A and B are shown apart, each in its own frame.
Chain A
Amino acid sequence: MNCLRAQSEVSRVRDAARAIPPAVDRHLAACEECASFRDTTEALERRYRRQVRSGIDRLRRLDAPSFRPRRSLGRKLLVPVAAAVLVCGWGWLKAKPEGAAAPIAFAVSSKGTSPRSLLFDGAGLVENPPELSFLDIGEPRLPIRLEQELHRIGGSDPEIVLPRNLTFRN
């Protein structure tokens, strides 16, 4: 087996993700140039892939969609919960000097006054809770500009279906 053939086989093996044939393996063990081809190719591809993919990740982080902050449910609830805890504490302190053993829920209970206080009524079981927009867990959305473009194109209307044989020509 000559070097060109061996290197061609090495390249094929990389593309097909299969084991190196024994004949090629023997050649690689004896031929420094072909072994170098295998090692250099592998190292180059690995580093190149890593570089480009990390570049894509960086770009994605930098270009996070600005139309709606993507926050987890926990983070979305953090501010209202912290505020409610403060109100709770303040209510408890106000109630304490009068010697009343009012439950915390009583201190903040104000049915129908504020959606936030409803969260702390009783054991948190509230009938017909108000629709809180921040409970809408972020789904992937298109950026505004692209969204507008797609609207303009109008392909989103389920009534309008482009013909299947329509091909894209340049």
Chain B
Amino acid sequence: MKLIVNKRFWVRSAAIIVILAFSVFLFFIGRQHTILVDNKSITINETEFQPLQLVEVQINKQPPLELAARDRDKYEATGQKHTVTIMYTDKTWEEHVIVRTFKVPLMQDMLIISIPALVGNPDSEQSVWLENYELPTYAMTAQPAEEHVVTDDFAGLI
């Protein structure tokens, strides 16, 4: 088959490129990440950060979550750029609000934000209080040895 390079060829090629670019765009804006917000004590560079007694956390414009000490909760968020807002009251009853924006690597499924580390280092790099999280193997449900795959349409009638 001979390849004919004419106006139609270029229009079609441009359309394919536009669709591919649009697909990449959709991939970026539609990628979902699970963001865990964790209010447990953490040690970074031999410094221990204690959990807050009560803290309100919000990711983007999703409903805020209230966490007590040693609490952990999760958000589902799409896209790569997010904002975390932390509201808490210190021992002198002074209210503090910390707002930080962070970026999530595209293929990272689950991340954890350490609230004590963020409150202790509000101006630090995101790598101090944000890290990749993988479910511990013991936390996963035991898989059945094998799952019976039904490929027969009429299996239900037998």
Partners in one complex: no
